[in-house]
Structure 1
């Protein structure tokens, strides 16, 4: 989660008065950090994952599942038993947007040795057991991206009604304010975004058209004052609150690089993989908003591929250039700072810019893009970092570990072999659109670089790039590939990421146990990419479709939801096998 300041939150009108103040001092704070650590080298390669969990209640009597709004109490209990008692506790717990959510991370970052990969699943297991141990009877921990009945009547425990007309934070027709985390940051974000827009958030997701789905599908909103009717699109599910995006769960990985140059290189290279492991149902996406794919590459290798329009604050850009910041980093920061601060606390207006970075983080942490470039905090031993943000959370610790290890291994291979996966950013954006389509793993085609061993040529400018065919397909730098080809390879087209990772492993000294663990993780990725095993999304769709109560009308009833999440819970606890997701027990590994 982002910056969690304490104090007295300002409303939007008050915050708006200080927007220029925050931007001005945020840039000063960034420059102070940059000038202190720009030459910093040889930081250790550290990394860590973040898993977001939902707290749910399984009501066996009424066959209903509801989101439990006691995340604050659960979090406090976990912190009291953990980090507040023992600074070296193996897990850390943090709040998330929903009052039914918590976030767990390892207590200390993982290091650069291969043996660390053998501890990831164990630590995730500790987190799941630790959090589960403080839950009430009939409550459980769910690692699912989106709660199927989010926003439906009675989806919370305790049950609260939305307050679209009365004075409230979101004024949603569907999402009660009580489902928002009680920390003032979250309610202030929600309220101020609404006030800044002059209207509620508008999210329209195409409805799954089944045999008996009304056509056109048009929702009616009894308590609507007209705003929803104007905003809702036919054949779409309309949502009107941040909770429908930020109230979902994802899986993230943060890497500490050895230097700022390495961090920028990793930021760019990993950005091309974001559509390959997309957040299909996670943070809601409004075209090129705060919740989107990145808008510019940061390394010299990526400069020639920056082919999309980038809106920047020209004054801030000039200030950064005059201060000695290079063009690519300056425009990245100047682009982030076109936004307004969304949450400001009275006690945090006037700061010590030499030793604090709250104003910089105010804007940095409210740009929720697929990648995040993170300067070191002031006066800390933390280095330059990048955060990989687009992955959906999976049902089990095994799956989550597999996806995390896959991405971390990929960074090691990129750095070791100096690989180049860059393609024009416009093509990354096109890939992101394809990734949002249903069954994209089997049916989608993605632009991907053919020769990743050529390395970058920073001297090549954008004009000569165009002359060399960087904006076309065919025999040039990138072509359309399936996920199977990208992950597993296809003779004469692309060697595949899994074969590259296997080659890397063969050249590394890895103990037998760790090698076995890694190979089992890669086997899962390989078989899902090929279609041999289902993705979680496809498995859930098929479960609903085959349910005896499903009427081919696109409606997930309480009973269907209960049976689905009871099955998910049983699988996540290892009580039930699911060969469609994992294959044979032998192939699953541990």
Structure 2
């Protein structure tokens, strides 16, 4: 979502002074944040997820499906309803609203996030799935007849004919698109300004091209063309953020998640259709990257070119230990002036380079009050630049005046998936893997160029079964905690190799595997049987997906389209096929239809869970530094947590 505020947005052509001011003061604000919080340590783990979803509407009489641009109305009505429940419009307070509904780029999109982050106890793992389901069900109460929440990344007919409930003229003042009217953009001024200013800075419309899937009778062009920010930022995702114990730990975790990011993207692939056409990619990543590429032609092609879009994979590991310098093998562009200021203020070379790399970008949105910020009290200008560098992993410093004064890391590559079970499985997987990484002191470093190659492989058609990925041969150090693994590193002849994701998950001769690592971690921290049952169910599903025993969402959709009686093996996803596809997806998500090829033996129900029975697993999800607290907890503490994590009305 990025930085949203209520202030007048400046026109791009009149904002050069503001952009220069933000560029200079953003660096100074980061320095002030760094100095204030550099020694900040957090006693407890906090972490959380963000789920984005689409609102669609069916026309059953004509067998059509469209996006419904009622997200702003639903956000307003939900906010009013939440206020009533919180501030006593009834004598007995029996209902709680424990999540937030926020705007996203599309006027048909919603972002659903827990009000309270998940805590450091294993009991939180047991409530994530029901938490996610209750979010969806609570929002569904505000939908009209024939409207539904469709939790997939990309609406298959976006930009294809009359695809929206509220169309509008093409070539609007914001997107100037051949395919998307400006009515698909959320009304908050930031989103329209981003759309306009990316075009203006670039000097032309964005140009998005993805390969067409060439079927037996395909006569379409070899690429699917798109031309607006909405094709990318109008897609949904699943993001998970982790609070680190310290600045140092946040940098270590950032590096490890940078390696993991392409792998979980392939595992969660759910986006094979664009503009009513089967593509030859399975994820949204390159579409978003191209959709916000504001580089000028000289920056894309000239002698001082910027290698990537501002939405792309990370370029730099930021661990300050010089032992890892060899893995930073990319030619990273950075702003020399910002780098000099950072170094002069005591920021180490690696972190200075990371921040200066962010500041090769301009602020895309500026506000009239830009000069009113105190650099010792506000980090708004830094966040302006930071939040519009959309990388595969985001390193997040504390913010002045913000709700969280901690160093955090956000994993951003996962596709949102159809069911709460899938989203919870990968949220828990990411959370426990991050803890196991710290607990076992894993070192997953490979050259950053290999991470880039993994990103390209991860988005390919059926990547789980057709691609191998670069991965370390030396990831497990010889420590007391790692002696359980026979393949802990003791000097590998080759530091990395190519493996299937199944081999990375299950283990090989050089690496024990993510799933055994997580299972060993849970055993060593002695979590309860109920938590083990929950987690093992998720891990078994992820294993089956990597093994091809169940399909990714992208592969399931491909099979549905290619087996549809109206499909002509020409790569075209017609309105009839899209209608039937979305109908089927909605029915699977509510449990009305079982789909073993997608979910295996997982049972989906559509019943709101209001069981307040406390989960008593007080096992702490310790990392490398977090300690088990000595604080005693009462029954009322447990009930309060049950409300937070299990019960949403």
Q: What TM-score comes out, normalization by structure 1 length?
A: 0.90
Q: Which residue of 1 aligns with 2:501?
A: 483
Match of 2:123 among 97, 107, 115: 115
Which is bigger in relative contact order (C-alpha 8 A, separation at least 6)? 2
Question: SS state of the match for residue 61, structure 2?
Answer: coil
Other structure's SS at 2:288 match: coil
Deviation of residue 345 (structure 1)?
Answer: 1.1
Summarize the Cα distance change of 1:52–1:455 in structure 2 as closer, same or farther, 3 Å threshold: farther
The aligned length equals 551
Quote the Cα distance in structure 2 between the aligned partners of 1:318 and 1:4.
30
| 1: CA distance, partners of 2:99 / 2:217 | 47
**Counterpart residue number, 1:353:** 375
Q: Contact between 2:474 and 2:510, CA under 8 Å: does it hold in 1?
A: no
Q: How does 1:448-527 map to 2 (within 5 A)?
A: 448-454=471-477, 475-490=493-508, 492-527=509-544
Q: Secondary structure of the residue that 1:426 maps to in structure 2?
A: helix
Task: Specify the alignment match of 1:290 in structure 2.
Answer: 310
Between the aligned partners of 1:494 and 1:453, the Cα distance in structure 2 is 7
Judged with a 3 Å threshold, the aligned counterparts in structure 2 of structure 1 residues 382 and 82 are, in CA distance, closer, same or farther, namely farther
**How far, CA to CA, are the matches of 1:268 and 1:79 in structure 2?**
38
1:321 corresponds to 2:343: yes
Unaligned runs of 5+ in 2: 88-95, 270-282, 291-306, 480-490, 610-649
Q: 2: CA distance between counterparts of 1:398 and 1:317?
A: 44
Alpha-carbon distance, 1:191 to partner: 0.3
The question of whether the paired residues in 2 share the 8 Å contact of 1:115 and 1:510 is answered with no
Counterpart secondary structure, 1:289: coil
Structure-1 residue corresponding to 2:445:
422
1:153 aligns with 2:161: yes
- Following superposition, the deviation at residue 160 of structure 1 comes to 2.5
What displacement does 1:71 show? 0.6
Distance (Å, rounded) in 1 between the aligned partners of 2:84 and 2:360: 39
CA contact (8 A) 2:29 2:379 kept: yes
| Conservation of the 8 A alpha-carbon contact between 2:471 and 2:498 | yes
Choose the corresponding residue for 2:458, options 430, 435, 440: 435
1:84, 1:416 → 2: CA distance? 44
Cα shift at 1:586: 7.3
What secondary structure is seen at the aligned counterpart in 1 of 2:365? coil
Q: CA deviation at 1:85?
A: 4.8
Q: Residues 78, 499 of structure 1: CA spacing in aligned structure 2 closer, same or farther, 3 A cutoff?
A: same
Structure 1 residue 493: Cα displacement: 4.5
Give the Å deviation of 1:385.
Answer: 0.6
Give 1:558's match in structure 2, choosing from 572, 575, 589: 575
Q: Deviations over 1:227-278 (max 9, x none)?
A: xxxxxxxx11110000110000000001111111111110000100111022
**Alpha-carbon shift at residue 438 of structure 1 (Å):** 0.5
Alpha carbons of structure 1 residues 85 and 26: separation in structure 2 relative to 1, 3 Å: farther
The CA RMSD over aligned residues, in Å, is: 1.9
Q: Tell me if the contact between 2:103 and 2:110 (Cα under 8 Å) persists in the aligned partners.
A: yes
Whether contact under 8 Å (1:91, 1:127) holds in the other structure is: yes
Query: Displacement of 1:580 after TM fit?
Result: 0.4
CA contact under 8 A between 1:528 and 1:535: conserved in structure 2?
yes
Alignment of 1:63-462 (within 5 A): 63-82=63-82, 85-86=85-86, 89-162=97-170, 164=171, 168-214=173-219, 217-218=220-221, 235-278=222-265, 280-282=283-285, 284-286=288-290, 288-301=308-321, 302-380=324-402, 381-454=404-477
Deviation at 1:349, TM superposition (A): 3.6
Helix, strand or coil: the match of 1:392?
Answer: coil
Q: In the alignment, is the contact (CA less than 8 A) between 2:590 and 2:604 conserved in 1?
A: no
Distance in structure 1 (CA, Å) of the matches to 2:35 and 2:511: 42
Which structure 1 residue ranges, 5 or more long, are not aligned?
219-234, 457-469
Contact kept in structure 1, 2:335 and 2:356, CA below 8 Å: yes
Distance 1:81 1:260 in 2: 39
In structure 1, the residue matched to 2:279 is: none
- Distance, in Å, in 1 between the alignment partners of 2:559 and 2:577 is 12
Q: How far apart are 1:322 and its partner, in Å?
A: 0.5
Deviations 1:495-539, CA, capped at 9 Å, x for gaps: 221111111122222222221111111111010011111110000
1:5 is aligned to 5
Secondary structure (helix, strand or coil) at the match of 1:18 reads: helix
Any conservation in 2 of the 1:29–1:357 contact (CA below 8 Å)?
yes
**Residues 427-453 of structure 1 deviation map (CA, whole Å, 9 limit, x = unaligned):** 000111111210100110100011211
Q: Quick one: distance in 1 between partners of 2:241 and 2:43?
A: 14
Question: What is the distance in 1 between the residues matched to 2:99 and 2:401?
Answer: 24
